[in-house]
Structure 1
Amino acid sequence: MPRAVALPDAATDPWLFRLTPDFLHPYLQLARLDRPIGWWLLVLPCWWGSALASLATRTPLHYGHLLLFLIGAIAMRGAGSTYNDIVDREIDAKVERTRMRPLPSGRVSLHAAFLFFGLQSLVGLAVLLSFNVFSIVLGISSLGFVAIYPFMKRITSWPQAVLGCAFSWGALMGWSTAYGSLTLAPLLLYAGAITWTIGYDTIYAIQDIRDDVKAGVKSTARLFGSRLRLCVGLLYTVTLCLSALALIGIGGLHGFALLGWAGFAVHLCWQVTKIDLDDGAGALRLFRSNRDAGLIFFAGLAAQTFLAA
């Protein structure tokens, strides 16, 4: 099998490739392990929801849950990306940024991709089954959004909203694994995470606007056009309001939690000022910076749990 090629939006130093045999490289790319930002953005809402639950109950962080969420995020990000590539293989062949992905380039067969998808899904299932029954049912419920997401770019200019519903589900999971139920606070956090996801994925989509027009792919980046900075700013404002209300609902918007929220707010505002429709490379950097934004918010929540416990 030919050696895997570096993809345009992959990490600049794919150290994992140096530690693995060549035949595995296309599968690492299918799972997006050369692009760790994906699983970071998937796990962060899980960690937020778990920390919010700890603040509400004045108990220490559930470290075992945080680790399981990390494993599950890596596995399900890989499974979701593999599924997305299976569905989008013909579109990917028409887009400069994606045409060398393993499936459109022929480095992985469709049959092998399905098997790999199944293997990663089993890892995610094993993680899910370690939680309470309510959380198991809740986790399974998210699969509807995962299943329809790859098709949304063909029929709506808001595929980022469906991605947000899927990627933000962890905010509900983080809370439910501690409580075995849901209340208003995690629902507010989930809604805020959705608008955050729409915002950062709109920034990401700046890279593909020209190719998307040719391929007939729809996105919020195309929809917003010259108003993109304003629209992302509004989305991020809603994120900050909803996350603040979630904390207020449990009496937690103070101390380190407030500092974390404020740092999150500053980071999101900074992103908006840097948006440039003509700078695809800059858009990718801004998109990736959301890992740091999300970690700042989580760090504040986590630090506050030590004081509250």
Structure 2
Amino acid sequence: MRAAVQGAARLLAEAGVPSPRPDAAALAAHVLGVDHVLLAPDEAPPGFAARYAGLVERRARREPLQHLVGRTGFRRVVLLVEPGVFVPRPETETVAEPAVAEARRVAASGRPPLVVDLCCGAGPLAVSLAVEVPGARVVAVDASPAAVDLTARNAAAQGVTVEALVGDVRERALLAELDGMVDVLVSNPPYIPPDAEPVDPEVRDHDPALALWGGGMDGLDVPRAVLAAGARLLAPGGLLVVEHAEVQDTALRAAAAAEGFMDVATLPDLTGRPRTLVARRPRGARARVTDSAP
């Protein structure tokens, strides 16, 4: 078994896979039906070699590991992953942190927090909030029906409830019934500019375009729509948390200030890059009147 994993790791390294040894081990564990390759038997069972070789070859062609094994870890949960829906990634775990902390603070005050996740994808943020803040009402929205369906299934698999809805964040009446009521609004929206291209083939060739390109010359059309939705949906003092590219921190802070947010700041990701906008809706602010037109 060790020799098979070592050989696979060499092949993946030659193909430019960033983490060849962990990926080779994860694929072996998946084929064997164990959580970790160290739990595998010394001798490979019948049929292992052929199935393992096929998966290693697909990974060498830079098919995402998460697609091959059908799941990925995110904070405290394991999420189902499927082609056609954006793959959750570790850097988004830092986006969840301030949202979870704020939802817990609201819960500690004696009432269940209301949390909205816009552009939810597979549901890593929404499901994590529902799991880590028991009693929270979590509403998740995405323009992709496949993403909404996967979010609902991921929530059910964790034994929590997430209200998963199809909707476009650019619709001015989206979730209008919640105007001025939301405690935490969190989002990992599409934000790649039109003249940029993801470096990793796993992203460029396999994540859906709807989840990547943010619109506009700077890629911030959708993130700005998230800010506008936050200014409308958040209760006075409510917290906004939005992921963005490291080169967009200054522009997004300015956009948040223009929307009337206060305490606008940028938080670093796991590697220290500026990747998360946090801001508060001013206390005493009135709910905005929403035009019913899209």
Greater relative contact order (Cα < 8 A, sep 6+):
1
Instruction: Compare the two structures and name the one with the higher helix fraction.
Output: 1
Instruction: Compare the two structures and name the one with the higher strand fraction.
Output: 2
**Could you tell me the TM-score, scaled by structure 2's length?**
0.32
**Could you tell me the TM-score, scaled by structure 1's length?**
0.31
In terms of Rg, which structure is larger? Answer: 2
